[in-house]
Structure 1
């Protein structure tokens, strides 16, 4: 299937999908496509005004769509806990959790003192997934899809202090997304749920909108020159989330040169991301840093 598109998505009526950062860019396009296929969509976003505006736009595109919004600030573990509790109170199962939200080029730290990109892109999603795991494993054949990046190949993680604000912070956070995905999928082996990852390639999105101008402006120019639309950028995520042939631990990205453009297909991630020792160590450290212990009864631990 060389040109997989949203036309290849199966019917999702009755399925519940939670998407972080769904008010704009890749997340909005992902949420819209899932709603068009009948899924009940939960937009988990930091700004509730923007989330409601996005829900209204989706409702205009997809009359009759069932859309909910939940306030979620991934830079605050307290907010992650509140959001997870709210989602869990409204839904007894989650069929799709799409860890889409991300930041890049931001200085500073999260509310909990972590370097902001590692804290938001990895630790926030690690905590959210763990807090929702009982709802995920309650569904029939649920999927957790985490959005990584080509940039993961330039990331390095000090496993003794993975949250230290050194090196390529964005690349490190995107490498962490993949290490987390592969370890999660292995631990889900005794359940019907699976974990996969995807990356959008060179998509022109709003990921730089909060970055300092010196970082934001040149990156925006490059993205607009070489990038593709958010709708195309969302296709790898949508394929990982819905293609019946997709399997756990698979990674989807564009099929073209350097995985920048093209239709989604299964791609390979870096050797660092496939290192089982690194996966396990990052998992242990992430549980300690977030205070979120994944329920052992639901997971297989080697």
Structure 2
């Protein structure tokens, strides 16, 4: 389709790596389809570099950058106010919740993983939901990871920040619950929601770690991980496929619905996380 529509892709708070992210590959594909692509990212220099590359590869000039720091809820609120004043359409929101497990804290004193991967996107999506409803049918695509299955949420310690891998797993499980609850709260309003595991991809997430770890992971990724172009296919599928629209609230792997572990399908937990998240972002 050559229909013009608006795609907002919200990247992680720290960096956007050109050529090596699933979402940048998705942005290229969707810009080539006629989307107005808005890249939301904290680092303006790297974002502009990404915008230039997306323009060249998609042969579209309808790509721009807006500043957004998902590790700062004041920035999220300011971004949404600015976006809603400037843009009259929002058809697809891609939440690239990809902050790796790091022992750090957001500006609002949440653990970096939970704060960026879940709360930042939670607030962003909620503030943009009215526009998504106005532009229905519209979609919210949230990137998660199959590692969600290795942890469960502890509502007594959502800010768990001791073991980086487990912290990351919990934030990915929160993404799964969040995506399901978006589908529930917008049911009948023309907004559909999907959680996507793009696969283990050769991305730039190791930039947050030591040189030795980066070198080791580069070898492992080269041997076992898939290129970002491959990982992007499921994101693109959920963004535009009519078939995907039949599975609102679904979890997708390899361009098809996939089964979740039973505990990750608990509607009561998803609703509780939503309510707790509302309180946390309001208090921050």
The answer as to whether partners of 1:92 and 1:138 remain within 8 angstroms in 2 is no
Number of the residue aligned with 1:252: 252
The answer as to whether partners of 1:105 and 1:208 remain within 8 angstroms in 2 is no
Q: Which of 185, 204, 207 is residue 205 of structure 2 equivalent to?
A: 207
Say yes or no: does 1:274 pair with 2:274. no
1:108: Cα distance to partner? 1.3
SS of equivalent residue, structure 1 residue 208: helix
Specify whether residues 178 and 101 from structure 1 end up closer, same or farther in structure 2 by C-alpha distance, changes over 3 A only.
Answer: closer
Equivalent pairs counted in the alignment come to 273
The answer as to whether partners of 2:195 and 2:252 remain within 8 angstroms in 1 is yes
Number of the residue aligned with 1:47: 43
Tell me, in whole angstroms, the C-alpha distance in 2 between the residues paired with 1:156 and 1:51: 34
Q: Which of 154, 157, 160 is residue 153 of structure 2 equivalent to?
A: 157
SS of equivalent residue, structure 1 residue 291: helix
Tell me, in whole angstroms, the C-alpha distance in 1 between the residues paired with 2:6 and 2:191: 14
Q: Which runs of 5 or more residues in structure 2 are unaligned?
A: none
Say yes or no: does 1:198 pair with 2:212. no
1:270: Cα distance to partner? 2.0
1:73: Cα distance to partner? 1.0
Tell me, in whole angstroms, the C-alpha distance in 2 between the residues paired with 1:44 and 1:197: 19
SS of equivalent residue, structure 1 residue 173: helix
Tell me, in whole angstroms, the C-alpha distance in 1 between the residues paired with 2:37 and 2:73: 23
SS of equivalent residue, structure 1 residue 203: coil
Tell me, in whole angstroms, the C-alpha distance in 1 between the residues paired with 2:143 and 2:209: 19
Number of the residue aligned with 2:10: 20
1:232: Cα distance to partner? 0.5
SS of equivalent residue, structure 1 residue 16: strand
Number of the residue aligned with 1:145: 141
The answer as to whether partners of 2:207 and 2:214 remain within 8 angstroms in 1 is yes
What TM-score comes out, normalization by structure 2 length? Answer: 0.91
The answer as to whether partners of 1:114 and 1:164 remain within 8 angstroms in 2 is no
- Greater share of helix: 2
1:65: Cα distance to partner? 3.2
1:152: Cα distance to partner? 0.8
CA RMSD of aligned residues (A): 1.7
The answer as to whether partners of 1:43 and 1:51 remain within 8 angstroms in 2 is yes
Q: Which runs of 5 or more residues in structure 1 are unaligned?
A: 1-10, 255-263, 293-302
